[in-house]
């Protein structure tokens, strides 16, 4: 997709964590192959933005078996995208994928940037606003475009009372448009055909579909 868009004249930028260990493993490694695909498609290296944080550098897998580690990885990546990459690139459109980027559509909306959020599955994380800010993401600018487990009265209520932010629901809620793996999946979730889908995810996907934004 990235290569095709670039070859059609779009100025495409890609942001991904700098998995140093994985990038220098066997060339058959998934992440290494993905990085090489961007370069072989003609995308200049200046258009590939590797988020720097020690939490990425020595990993040998994208996800951790420790559920406490995955939110840290996601927060570190989003901090770099929000604080640095988006400010330097100044994008006209932002495309995000799944709960690991769930905060980015909210800051994009706040800054007047349209966003597309791709929902690959219904997994999410629920992280308190105070914890999000403690890693260096200032949510005061966009807290009102996030989806909370319990609606807060205001920013200080959300922060001081540790009200969790639902990352996947936030991405769906704040994005201008969403897409899923198939129209069937979209309708199955929106119509409540699976009782394992969280109500917040179902409601937000249905709202986007009914608004013609999915």
pLDDT digits (tens, 9 = 90+) for 39-61: 666 677 778 888 888 888 777 77
CA–CA separation, 116 vs 179, rounded Å?
A: 7
Q: How does residue 90 score in pLDDT terms, banded at 50, 70 and 90?
A: very high
- Sign of the torsion formed by the C-alpha atoms of 68, 22, 179 and 141: positive
Q: What is the torsion angle, in degrees rounded to the nearest 10, for the CA atoms of residue 58, residue 61, residue 67 and residue 72?
A: 40
Least confident of 55-64, 88-97, 143-152, 157-166: 55-64
CA–CA separation, 168 vs 147, rounded Å?
A: 9
Higher pLDDT, residue 115 or 1: 115
Q: What is the DSSP string of 32-73?
A: HHHHHHHHHTT--GGGEEEE--HHHHT-SSSS-SSTTHHHHH
Check if the beta carbon of residue 82 is closer than 8 Å to that of residue 137.
yes
Residue 27 is predicted with a pLDDT of 46
pTM of the model: 0.88
Task: Give me the mean pLDDT over the 129-134 stretch.
Answer: 94
Higher pLDDT, residue 56 or 88: 88
pLDDT > 60? residue 203: yes
Task: Give me the mean pLDDT over the 65-71 stretch.
Answer: 79
CA–CA separation, 49 vs 57, rounded Å?
A: 15
pLDDT > 70? residue 31: no
């Amino acid at each position: 997709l990235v290569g095709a868009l670039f070859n059609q004249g779009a100025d495409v930028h890609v942001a991904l964590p700098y998995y140093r260990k994985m990038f220098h493993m066997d060339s058959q490694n998934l992440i290494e192959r993905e990085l090489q695909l961007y370069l072989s498609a003609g995308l200049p290296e200046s258009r590939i933005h590797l988020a720097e944080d020690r939490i990425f550098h020595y990993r040998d897998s994208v996800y951790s078996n420790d559920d406490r580690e995955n939110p840290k990885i996601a927060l570190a990546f989003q901090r770099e995208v929000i604080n640095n990459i988006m400010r330097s690139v100044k994008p006209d459109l932002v495309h995000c994928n799944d709960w690991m980027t769930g905060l980015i559509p909210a800051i994009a909306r706040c800054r007047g940037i349209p966003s597309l959020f791709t929902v690959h599955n219904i997994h999410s994380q629920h992280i308190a606003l105070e914890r999000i800010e403690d890693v260096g993401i200032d949510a005061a600018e966009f807290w009102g475009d996030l989806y909370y487990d319990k609606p807060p009265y205001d920013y200080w209520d959300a922060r001081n009372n540790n009200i969790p932010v639902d990352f996947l629901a936030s991405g769906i809620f704040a994005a201008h448009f969403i897409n899923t793996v198939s129209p069937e999946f979209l309708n199955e979730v929106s119509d409540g055909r699976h009782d394992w889908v969280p109500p917040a995810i179902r409601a937000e996907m249905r709202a986007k579909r009914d608004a013609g934004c999915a």
